Amino acid sequence: MRFLSLLVLPLAACTSLPKPAVDSLALANGRVVAQLVHATYDVKDHAATCKPFHRVFATDGRQLTKDLGGLFDHHRGIFVGWNHVTCEGRSFDFWHCRKGETQRVVRLAATSDGKGHDAHIEWLADDGAAIVREQRTVTVHALDDETFRLDVLCSLQAAAAAVVLGGDPQHAGCQFRALQAFTEEGAPKVTYLRPPSAQGGKDDVWTHCAWIAAVLPMPQGAVTVLRVEAATNPSATWSTRPYGRFGAMSKATLTAAAPLQLRIAYVVSLGARDAAWCERLAAAALPR
């Protein structure tokens, strides 16, 4: 197994973030496999600066995820948000962020083991009031020359009064969005693998899944992205789209004393893997 190195671009005193800022996670050979993209908020450039996300790359350097723009410009890389958030009678949309809502990185540091970064993110209303405080820790682990795993630990806490996270599976939770190219007319579409326990519903909604994998038909060869839910997470409802947006959401009530803890793993590997491979890697990533 390879050791990992964390490449973190300089931060200005941890409270004054450069615009834009990109903080990279790399393997020991220097290959960057993920980047946290964030910026100092600018009301004149709301769409580009309203929330952070993680880009993801294959081990051969190909970028797998979409940035700003394209179809559904609020979809970017690996991102977190809920479209129906309520607190003290007020309603917020921290998925689209169309009513002035923002998610701002206020502190960022390397993890103590040197394998990742720890971002503290405030979810703010349009008047600047903090609604949710999030701690998002992402670490990277090499599995072999073609495969690595991103571990995502997301802790969501009410900033003051209780917060209800709600919405629908297409617009809430932690999601992955593949490249814009898969939306183009005539382009090959993303396909999915699911465990035998999966139960499908309307609008490509799925339940009873410990994992779902997307097979991205990249021009230079397919890449498989396996997402795994920890057994300790609340019951999740999944959503998948042929253009490459997939993920899962849970409804929850947050308080200052009782945060929501989500553990998610993404295993990224060159090639079109099968369900047996997914089952084996899912069990190893987050044992049930």
Query: What's the pLDDT tens digit per position in 178-217?
Result: 999 999 989 999 999 999 999 999 999 999 999 999 999 9
CA distance 50 to 127: 14
Q: What is the DSSP letter of 16?
A: B
What would you measure as the largest C-alpha separation in the chain, in angstroms?
A: 51
CA distance 15 to 13: 5
Q: Is this prediction's pTM over 0.95?
A: no
Once rounded to an integer, what is the mean pLDDT over residues 137-152? 96
What does the pLDDT read at residue 75? Answer: 86
pLDDT surpasses 50 at 150 = yes
What does the pLDDT read at residue 166? Answer: 96
pLDDT surpasses 90 at 287 = no
Q: What tokens were used for 116?
A: 């990742």
Count CB-CB contacts under 10 A for residue 80. 26
Question: What percentage of the chain reaches a pLDDT higher than 90?
Answer: 84
For the chain, helix (H) and strand (E) counts, in that order, are 2, 22
For tokens 């103590």, what's the residue?
Answer: 112
What does the pLDDT read at residue 71? Answer: 78
Q: What tokens were used for 4?
A: 């990992």
Reference 129, options 74, 88, 168; nearest CA is: 88
pLDDT surpasses 80 at 288 = no
What does the pLDDT read at residue 140? Answer: 96
For tokens 């057994």, what's the residue?
Answer: 231
